[in-house]
Structure 1
Amino acid sequence: MKLSETTLDLIETLRGSGKSFCVATIVRTKDATSAKPGAKAVVTEDGELHGFLGGGCVTGAVKKQALKALETQEPVLIRIKPKDEVVAPVDTDGTTLHKSSCPSGGTVEVFLEPMKATRRLIILGSSPIARTLVTLAGAIGYRTIAGAPGDESGEMQAADVCFDDFSEAAAEAGPGDALILSTQGRRDREALRAALGSDAGYIGMVASRRKFQVLAEEISTDPEHTQRLDDVHAPAGLDIKAVEPEEIALSIMGQIVELRRAGQLDDQTAAGDETRKAAGP
């Protein structure tokens, strides 16, 4: 497989991973350079560069500027020139300049495009509300990951990824992701244990407060799963007096969007406190 194909495969993998990254593409070169126009690489959040854009004179500048682009979430064009040709931080045409000490003396222009982490929703269960969440979340740009053992209808297969196991689906969740339990009487305890073992920034359960309290009391005897019990929001969703499955799914997505827009979903504690306030006593 060509290096460029490997880089494209990595981009697709990262798009579904819930992590931000930056795509670097060489758009123009002048004089001798080891990498040519069209070459692509990926810079991940940890500052690692995957792909080939040339020697250290180029990759150092690319990694540094790519991390800045990830912070600002704004694309940028940079120009890397021999150090004796750089007399200012910005070129005459407004392009940011970086010095190169490479003996080849070539100039490289690189376009950096930050790719924000894909919003993801993990759904455990195959109830009517779970099925509606797959459709609704997908319609507003979320990548949906389902855990639906025993899904007789097969409708949960409409999710972007569908596991026949609660734990496998829950293990996909990261701090910036939301996880919803909508088992509604079918293997509730198993799903709740899987959710409590996840890293999801938001955990919501479609259940009455009374039902959740009963489940929580049973699970509280297991020290492995008690740490995050206070982070579970039951019932999940904003209080919009929802009754129908579609309305309940809408209230859940409304709450998740509210938290994300407030910048709270990455902080499990803050998200938990604010969500409980929004949901009421």
Structure 2
Amino acid sequence: MQTSFEDKVQALRTNGQPFAIATVVRTVDATSAKPGAKALILPDGTIAEGWVGGGCARGAITRAAIAALGDGQPRFVSLRPEELLDVEGRTHGEERNGVRFARSRCPSKGSMDVFVEPVTPPPDLVVCGESPVALALCALSSRLGMRRTLCAPGLPAGKTPAVDRLLDDFAFDTQAGTECHIVIATQGKGDEAALRAAIAAGAATIAFVGSRRKFAALGERLLAEGIARADIDRVKSPAGLDISAITPDEIALSILAEIIAQRRGRQRLDQAAGLSP
């Protein structure tokens, strides 16, 4: 079973699919699942592999997995019989010090603590173009934990950087549920085609490397061809934070810094809103 579990985990990782791993870390008295038992849980609550107990425990654990995948934060669930919750002055659904308590209706009256860890695919960075800025983006992003795609039609083999995926056109796709950041660094070679593809992809952010005047002209052309103004307004141009960047590496750095600031800023807002602990 261990090999099957690991194979399933690897397959989901390879396909870029989110999942959660629930691990029993402690039991008291009689329980069907023992410490070390694991289950692989999908975003809809389906247990794809493994086992962490019967129906009296499964509901609370799958709910915790769905919540963990929703905000990217792990959960610690303590399942206890109702009598024990009453004695300890705790209630079903209450959370204290990062532990969420849940009622167990198992006839055995045992208790079980379960750690639920979300595993979400890394964000996608899609770079369009073969310009010096595009190539610098691919190089500088190598240690940021992103899956990198370079869309560079006609790029000579000798100029190909180390990326996860290389496309010879702008027909990239974004997977549902995956955070995606698109940077258009075509700089005169396929600007409009790349913009069209980026807007259609529904990415978390779209940035255009170029002057405000150039982007305004492109935007007007796209608007005349039926693309909604709201979609065009989603594109950030010029791309990057204003750090007075001049060289391709400096411009690439400013763009990556902006992406990081946006990602972490959203996480802080979620925490402030109580969406994550």
Establish whether TM, by shorter chain, passes 0.5: yes
User: 1:209 and 2:212 equivalent?
Assistant: yes
The share of aligned pairs that are identical, in percent, is: 35
Aligned-partner SS, 2:24 = strand
Aligned-partner SS, 2:201 = coil
Letter in 2 for 1:141: G
For 2:230 and 2:177, the matched residues in 1 are separated by: 17
Deviation at 1:248, TM superposition (A): 0.8
Match of 2:250 among 212, 236, 247: 247
User: 1:187 and 2:187 equivalent?
Assistant: no
User: 1:135 and 2:135 equivalent?
Assistant: no
For 1:130 and 1:154, the matched residues in 2 are separated by: 15
Instruction: Output the aligned Cα RMSD.
Output: 3.5
Match of 1:145 among 149, 168, 192: 149
Q: Which runs of 5+ in 1 are unaligned?
A: 267-281
1:107-136: CA deviation from partner (whole Å, max 9, x where unpaired) = 543221234663332211222211111222
Of 80-89 and 195-204, more deviation after overlay is shown by 80-89
For 1:131 and 1:173, the matched residues in 2 are separated by: 27
Q: Which residue of 1 aligns with 2:127?
A: 123
- Alignment CA distance shift 1:168-1:133 (3 Å): same
Q: Which residue of 2 aligns with 1:274?
A: none
Number of residue equivalences: 259
Deviation at 1:155, TM superposition (A): 4.7
CA contact (8 A) 1:7 1:42 kept: no
For 2:268 and 2:229, the matched residues in 1 are separated by: 21
Deviation at 1:39, TM superposition (A): 2.3
CA contact (8 A) 1:175 1:199 kept: no
CA contact (8 A) 1:80 1:98 kept: yes
CA contact (8 A) 1:202 1:232 kept: yes
Match of 1:101 among 86, 105, 111: 105
Match of 1:233 among 232, 236, 258: 236
Letter in 2 for 1:12: R
For 2:169 and 2:35, the matched residues in 1 are separated by: 46
For 2:64 and 2:109, the matched residues in 1 are separated by: 21
CA contact (8 A) 2:208 2:237 kept: yes
TM-score of the aligned structures, taking structure 2 as reference length: 0.75
For 1:190 and 1:76, the matched residues in 2 are separated by: 43
Match of 1:260 among 243, 250, 263: 263
Letter in 1 for 2:58: T
How do 1:25-174 and structure 2 match up within 5 A? 25-28=23-26, 31=30, 33=32, 37-44=36-43, 46-51=44-49, 52-69=51-68, 74-87=73-86, 88=88, 89=90, 97-103=101-107, 107-115=111-119, 118-153=122-157, 155-156=159-160, 158-169=162-173, 171-172=174-175
Aligned-partner SS, 2:139 = helix
CA contact (8 A) 1:11 1:42 kept: no
User: 1:12 and 2:17 equivalent?
Assistant: no
CA contact (8 A) 1:236 1:252 kept: yes
Q: Which residue of 2 aligns with 1:272?
A: none
Match of 2:226 among 199, 220, 223: 223
Deviation at 1:221, TM superposition (A): 2.6
CA contact (8 A) 1:175 1:201 kept: no
Deviation at 1:192, TM superposition (A): 1.3
TM-score of the aligned structures, taking structure 1 as reference length: 0.74
Q: Which residue of 2 aligns with 1:269?
A: none
